[in-house]
Structure 1
Amino acid sequence: MRKRTRLTITLPNELLKRVDTLVDGSIIRNRSHAVEHLLGEALTQSVSQAVILAGGKPAKRRSLLSLVQGKHLLQITLDQLRKYDITDCIICTDPDLIAELQKRFGDGSNLGMQITYVPEVEPQGTAGALRNCTKYLRPAPFLVMHGDVLTSINLQEFIEFHKNEQKKATIGVKPRQAERSFGQVFLQGNSIIQFLDRGADQGISIVNTGLYVLDPSVLDLIPKQKTPVNLETDVFPKLAKEGELSAFIFQGLWYDITSPHLLEEASRRWLQ
């Protein structure tokens, strides 16, 4: 819970009427919440960049071109980003796949976007790959997505949650039954107090979905070592200990489509 300080302000009646129009009793609960929301929107930098991490094993890299109801996964992802006004996309993957993606998607201008390709010649891990993108990132919060993820998450709500939490990083998470193939988290309220790598058996699991909103300061926590480094094992556990890692539990579809049977299920259930 963030510390709050009581503040008394005086506003013109006409301006106050406009503030009151935001109150819906649900998302904006009352007049004070409306003023806080407006100040937050004005003072907090918006998210306009996304990094897609598609390195690692061949199956993970090729997921970008997997077909879901006749559309490439990357096309679906880019359409989602554009829907939420995230039009600057950085894709980190191996050089051979970059050449193929450039033929299909170019620089993104035909989609109303800007696509930057960052080659990952040798596997660097998720944190190492993100570190390679640093020079293309603006000094503002940004979205990170694993390249093998198909999801219907509401990105606006995800980003708004991150702003309200005022922590360095937010992870999108979902409850799953005894799921050992994904990283898992322990929650206290909205805060992640412990981050576990894959393989832990915890019964009902709260799993990492590979969707993150990160503040630029997270980049400073990535070790400079040359060997592969990962957000999930080398960065997020540190943030959890510092109380700087939040969890956004979301509804909707989410699939890691690396395996053929999950791709088949996702294609069957995906709603265009």
Structure 2
Amino acid sequence: MLDDVEAVVLVGGKGTRLRPLTLSAPKPMLPTAGVPFLAHLLSRIRAAGVRRVVLGTSYLAETFSAYFGDGAALGLELRYVVEDQPLGTGGGIRNVAEHLTAADVLVFNGDVLCGTDLGAVVGTHRRTAADVTLHLVRVQDPRAYGCVPTDADGRVLDFLEKTDDPPTDQINAGCYVFRRSVIDTIPQGRPVSVERETFPGLLAAGARVSGHVDNAYWRDMGTPADLIHGSADLVRGVAPSAALPGPTGEVMLLEGAKIAEGALVFGGTTVGRGVQIGAGARIEGAMLFDGAAVDEGAIIEHAVIGAGARVGQGASVVDTVVGDRAVVGAQCELRGGLRLWPDVILPPHGVRFSPDV
């Protein structure tokens, strides 16, 4: 148990790329498998034995405190620290320093879904007497990420930018353990990047930076596609969470939702509160937010249907984000990353991709 460790979660940036869905809620509060995304991370922190968590935010901080309060309902003690200006990852960590008292501090990027053993990460940190320890994951194609090579003893050797010829498949997974005293060395009051400034600076100064490498579940939730697939993985139990509002399985059915006889809903779909799904509809791996409606015979695959939105009879919505209260008319076809803005109304047969027959 990590009851002698504190946690910092950096949340609330404006970086969500789901802008058609919501222009006000920060990404960590977007409904994911029935609850705000941040709830899944907090549940993992609590399950590891950590009791005290500081949330560092610069954007819509009141959204977090209004939902999570003091954290007592989660078995946590939550504290909120607001940045006067965006400070980056390193600056955000430094900004909360005065609220930290533990010798070791777990730090999380608030938009990553991960299943690593937090106790094992802290164990690596302490076993190697590290100043900072990074959780590293192996990915199939590391070219899209910066790489972090380590030696045979797990010591981090370098931080490399994206390259077409990466020397390792290990990447920074957005979870760190800091020795408390190291946090005080981060410059205060200005933007700082841990990846570009803090970690390379520690290596240059001869500090011990360790890597904890594993093959745990990991997904950066930075795009609509990642949010959809991450939510489905949570619903199906592929990604771990103690915050799910129901049992894992092919579908997460929330209060008041109704699925008509003959409809097929599977693949880790979340059906929000009050959602109505008509007969013959087929829905796979999708997120249907509260109050949405899907008419008879509609097909929805790997898509987000916003709150109060409607998908008409026989319409097809694939790899698409449909904004809140929007209407997809009967027999319309939306696909390929298309995003429909809130309140937009598409008439029946208004958009087609397939040829007429």
Q: TM-score range by the shorter chain?
A: 0.7 to 0.9
- The match for 1:246 among 202, 205, 210 is 210
2:6 pairs with 1:49: yes
Residues 236, 193 of structure 1: alpha-carbon distance in 2 compared, 3 angstrom cutoff: same
Check whether the contact 2:135–2:211 (CA below 8 A) recurs between aligned residues.
Answer: yes
Q: Describe how 1:3-14 pairs up with structure 2 within 5 A.
A: none
Counterpart code for 1:63: K
- The match for 1:119 among 75, 79, 82 is 82
2:149 pairs with 1:186: yes
Partner SS state of residue 222, structure 1:
coil
Q: CA deviation digits over 1:198-250, x for unaligned, max 9?
A: x33334531001100110121133124x4411111111112233151000012
TM-score, structure 1 length as denominator? 0.76
2:37 pairs with 1:73: yes
Counterpart code for 1:176: V
Q: How far apart are the structure 1 equivalents of 2:228 and 2:71?
A: 28
Q: Specify the alignment match of 1:85 in structure 2.
A: 49
- Largest Rg, 1 or 2: 2
Check whether the contact 2:111–2:221 (CA below 8 A) recurs between aligned residues.
Answer: yes
Q: Specify the alignment match of 1:258 in structure 2.
A: 222
Identify, as 1 or 2, the structure richer in helix. 1
Q: CA deviation at 1:152?
A: 0.8
Check whether the contact 1:95–1:121 (CA below 8 A) recurs between aligned residues.
Answer: no
- The match for 1:223 among 182, 187, 206 is 187
Residues 50, 202 of structure 1: alpha-carbon distance in 2 compared, 3 angstrom cutoff: farther
Counterpart code for 1:51: V
Check whether the contact 2:28–2:110 (CA below 8 A) recurs between aligned residues.
Answer: yes
Residues 55, 62 of structure 1: alpha-carbon distance in 2 compared, 3 angstrom cutoff: closer
Q: How far apart are the structure 2 equivalents of 1:229 and 1:250?
A: 27
Partner SS state of residue 9, structure 2:
strand
Check whether the contact 1:47–1:142 (CA below 8 A) recurs between aligned residues.
Answer: no
Residues 72, 56 of structure 1: alpha-carbon distance in 2 compared, 3 angstrom cutoff: closer
Q: Describe how 1:124-203 pairs up with structure 2 within 5 A.
A: 124-189=87-152, 190-197=154-161, 199-203=162-166
Gaps of 5+ in 2: 18-24, 242-357
Check whether the contact 2:29–2:37 (CA below 8 A) recurs between aligned residues.
Answer: yes
Q: How far apart are the structure 1 equivalents of 2:142 and 2:73?
A: 40
TM-align CA RMSD: 2.2
Q: Specify the alignment match of 2:26 in structure 1.
A: 62
Which has the higher mean CA deviation after the structures are superposed, 178-187 or 162-171? 178-187
TM-score, structure 2 length as denominator? 0.59
Residues 186, 62 of structure 1: alpha-carbon distance in 2 compared, 3 angstrom cutoff: same
Q: How far apart are the structure 1 equivalents of 2:149 and 2:54?
A: 30
Gaps of 5+ in 1: 1-40
Counterpart code for 1:152: G
Check whether the contact 2:138–2:215 (CA below 8 A) recurs between aligned residues.
Answer: no
Check whether the contact 1:192–1:243 (CA below 8 A) recurs between aligned residues.
Answer: no
Check whether the contact 1:66–1:72 (CA below 8 A) recurs between aligned residues.
Answer: yes
Q: CA deviation at 1:47?
A: 4.1
Q: CA deviation digits over 1:234-270, x for unaligned, max 9?
A: 1111223315100001222111112111111112223
Residues 71, 266 of structure 1: alpha-carbon distance in 2 compared, 3 angstrom cutoff: same
Residues 51, 165 of structure 1: alpha-carbon distance in 2 compared, 3 angstrom cutoff: same
Q: How far apart are the structure 1 equivalents of 2:144 and 2:181?
A: 29
Partner SS state of residue 143, structure 1:
strand
Across the two proteins, how many residue pairs are aligned to each other?
226
Greater relative CO, 1 or 2 (CA 8 Å, sep 6+): 1
